[in-house]
Amino acid sequence: MNLPTAVIWKKLTLIHANKGTMFETDLLNQLQMSRYVKSGDIDVCTHFANLVVIKEQLTEIGSPISDPSFTSYICTSMSLVTSFKSLFTALTTASHTSKKPTTSEELIWYLTEEANSKTIEDNINKQDEAMISAHTKSKGESNNLKRKAKAKDSCHCSNCNKDGHTDDQCFAEGGGMAGKAPKWWVKKNGGKSKGKGKGKSANAAEVSDDENFALLTCLTINSLDDNFINIALAVTSSHSHKAHAVSPSAGVIIDCGASSHFFLS
């Protein structure tokens, strides 16, 4: 059987109305003790929605509260959030001046707008702090690099006679890092250690690295035929291809690139 809507609503009203005074007392206690906490589990909109639900339940059981009373409950529920005190002062002043009290609907709208504005402001402040922190860190790193570069420029190595490092940091022979050079340094310097070094070992290294040799050996197989000669030529310089290109019959070796020569007088 289909019942009219008015009949169904009347039955529901009677059900809620018969809950008695204990239910009414519990609702009023919830309304009085409700407090909004900024860092709590619910936001300000949900808080106000819960208060409105309690007010509507009181109306359903036949114990409605006046709008000024509900406005007072709303103000009390926001007492733990000190950031809204200036808004409450402004609303009270405006109400006193206009001789018109602020309704609960208006108060909820003002408080919601204030909460949203503060949320946006907090987010902007956090972004600004992050940007300032990142800029400060970047500036500090840049200053450190400048200080390091300046300190590096002021260094001079007496081992290789170059700027930018000290003797104990030098990869060249005689330096503190001799034999520990990275691959890029060895490749750049052709595998040679050009430090002036210390003592006899450094001098020996200079001779072996900087001097090149050419060795020519002639062997006559037939003494009656001077043109039939076996010749062996060894050249350690990069000019060896020029030396080998010369014909043996020329009797000379041109531009062998050697700094020392061995020959039989």
pTM: 0.42
Angstrom distance (rounded) from CA 91 to CA 94: 5
Residue 108 has pLDDT above 90, yes or no: yes
Which SS3 state, helix, strand or coil, does residue 237 take? coil
Kind plus residue range of the DSSP H or E element containing 231: strand 229-235
pLDDT of residue 53: 92
Angstrom distance (rounded) from CA 151 to CA 149: 5
pLDDT of residue 206: 40
pLDDT band at 204 (very low <50, low <70, confident <90, very high): very low
Q: Pick the closest to residue 257 from 49, 112, 265, 241 (CA basis).
A: 241
pLDDT of residue 199: 41
- Between 44-60 and 5-17, two packed helices, what is the crossing angle to 10 degrees? 100
- Between 104-153 and 85-98, two packed helices, what is the crossing angle to 10 degrees? 140
Which amino acid is located at 41 in the chain? D
Mean pLDDT along residues 86-107: 90
Residue 237 has pLDDT above 60, yes or no: no
Angstrom distance (rounded) from CA 67 to CA 72: 9
Which of 34-38, 142-146, 232-236, 250-254 is most confident? 34-38
Kindly state the DSSP code that residue 248 receives in the 8-state scheme. Answer: G
- The answer to whether 54 and 46 are in contact (CB under 8 A) is no
pLDDT of residue 209: 46
Q: What is the largest CA-CA distance in the chain?
A: 147
Cβ within 8 Å of residue 175, ≥6 positions away: 157, 159, 160, 167, 168, 169, 195
Residue 200 has pLDDT above 50, yes or no: no
- The answer to whether 54 and 27 are in contact (CB under 8 A) is yes
